Structure 1
């Protein structure tokens, strides 16, 4: 952890003149089961494995690449399968590509599903702080009916313009950024009586990003499948 914090300090020198962070972040990911009960007669461990296989839970590491204009890509792996999520700001969709599959799901990030269903979450900066290495981090807690996210941030690194994400209500990301004005150092995701995932920043590199990384293939929407979801669209790669 000391090496990580030294790396943070060195990188800070390159970031101070940047209005909004552009570059690469790598998070270490861990997931733990909360309790050992069954869910609809299926063990939680089997459900976790299923979620991992679908790309819902990243394995070991998760890499984010941010542009200065608000687009980003996240990259993880399940075995040898690449799982890539691509946020295109101009249409507010977060596309997820899994390996060689030609079916692509795209989350409409303007929608917080629980809020849409009449259960708006609470978002607040809580009083306690936590030291992560040598960084003193503040915490923003988002509490939904079905779970809790805790975003940890520092006011000294990873500064970002929250207005780049003003329509990003999914995971209450914009609400968090309005408080933090910075990307998270750590994220804890707790699903009630199910599992807890922790994302801990391992390294980051401010750098100019080639916009070609945010390009997506030609696709057509499958409206029949899209109509099955409130907050998703389904596309077929041509």
Structure 2
């Protein structure tokens, strides 16, 4: 259209028109089907005097007539040849491949208080969210009760022994690019043990004013916000 090149435009409107016209089963959000459709449309562009006009006409046909919802089939110049119209399945095209199910990871976040300070741990420097601070706890194993996961996680990360004071107080879902974190929040009290010295995940008691200055993982910042600490 802009440079006079005889190249088919395959945008969402054109793909929708063609998918309904020929009952194409491809998902045109993907590059390979779009390239194949462009190849199929190329002879029509080569045969017309104005490739730009044909491209623009196809795009406008999809945008104004062959719309995603409530297409104006009675006003379409291609209605007699449209296979989807004959079958009454316009709404089923173009096809969309179902998005893969995003896996879930179960974890616990344990809220432990000592006076005016709260127990926080720092993630290892490498890996996901490296170096950020968060509430202790961590991953929950399959079929592991939340309270048990809380005791195990706090012991492994900090060296402290705790007892859950309440059942799951809240459940927070936080989406990452490749999984969803389901974080169960548990209040607990310290019953023994001593904070580990050094190590890959240092732990410490942090006053609210200091928590606000720490780089905290987003999901845990939401929990701290509910507690009024950030």
Could you say which TM-score interval applies, normalised by the shorter chain? Answer: under 0.3
RCO (CA 8 Å, sep 6+): is it higher in 1 or 2? Answer: 1
Question: Which TM-score applies when normalising by structure 2?
Answer: 0.20
Q: Counting strand residues as a fraction of each chain, which structure ranks higher?
A: 1
Larger radius of gyration: 2
